Amino acid sequence: MSIKSGEAHTVASVNVRESAKGSGFPNPYWLQERAIQMHTDDLPAYEREEFSGHSYTVYQALTMLVRRLCRATVAAHWPTASRLLRCDYNPDEPADWFLWATGRGLTEFADPPQPVSWSNWRARARVVDVSRLPPLLLAENRWLLPLVLTMPHRLNEAACDYIDTVIGRRAAVL
């Protein structure tokens, strides 16, 4: 398993494990400090949220593994991951990608397909739709990693797929 496959495997494993425990994996809008406080029971009760049953990241991690032909790893995680609701947020305006908080956007929730076909997933993973990414980020893609490192809540499905395309060279841009 390559380092990049190992990273995707770790993301998938943590998402699946935390959801199976019932605590869930905090959404990307939670600061790391608050997420740690929640898991160590140092967060006041009135600030707690329920995160089990959905994920903003597990499907991107599994798709990265599909691109790397890690079928056994995906199959090992799929029984639990397939029970998680897929969540994805896209800002309405291109400029909103560069703001910490946006006024408007679209949060999508979707049940994963049942059953899932490996060949169909591979076909979908080969081509990345960048229509939801801001043109500036596509033109200056060297800023993509610094953007998601400083604002991890911008690492949505489109950004993750594009990063895997630009850096991992695992897909073509649509």
Q: Which amino acid is at 38?
A: M
Give the number of other CB atoms < 10 A from CB of residue 86. Answer: 20
- Say if CB 135 and CB 94 are below 8 A apart: yes
Whether 3 shows a pLDDT value over 50: the answer reads no
Q: Could you state, in order of their start, the residue ranges of all structural domains in the chain?
A: 3-173
Determine the angle formed by the axes of helices 71-81 and 58-67, rounding to 10 degrees.
160
Over range 110-134, report the average pLDDT: 90
- Mean per-residue pLDDT over the chain, rounded: 83
Contact partners, residue 62, CB within 8 Å, separation at least 6:
8, 12, 74, 77, 78, 81
Average pLDDT over residues 89-98: 92
Can you list the alpha helix ranges (DSSP code H) found in 27-142? Answer: 32-39, 58-67, 71-81, 118-126, 135-139
Question: Which residue from 121, 93, 119 is spatially nearest to 106, judged by alpha carbons?
Answer: 93
pLDDT at 72: 93
Which band of pLDDT confidence, cut at 50, 70 and 90, is reported for residue 70? very high
Q: Which amino acid is at 80?
A: T
Read off the pLDDT of residues 5-50 as tens digits, 9 standing for 90 and up. 555 556 666 656 655 555 666 666 677 787 788 778 888 888 877 7
**Prediction pTM value:** 0.76
pLDDT band for position 96 (50/70/90)? very high
Distance CA 165, CA 125 (A): 10
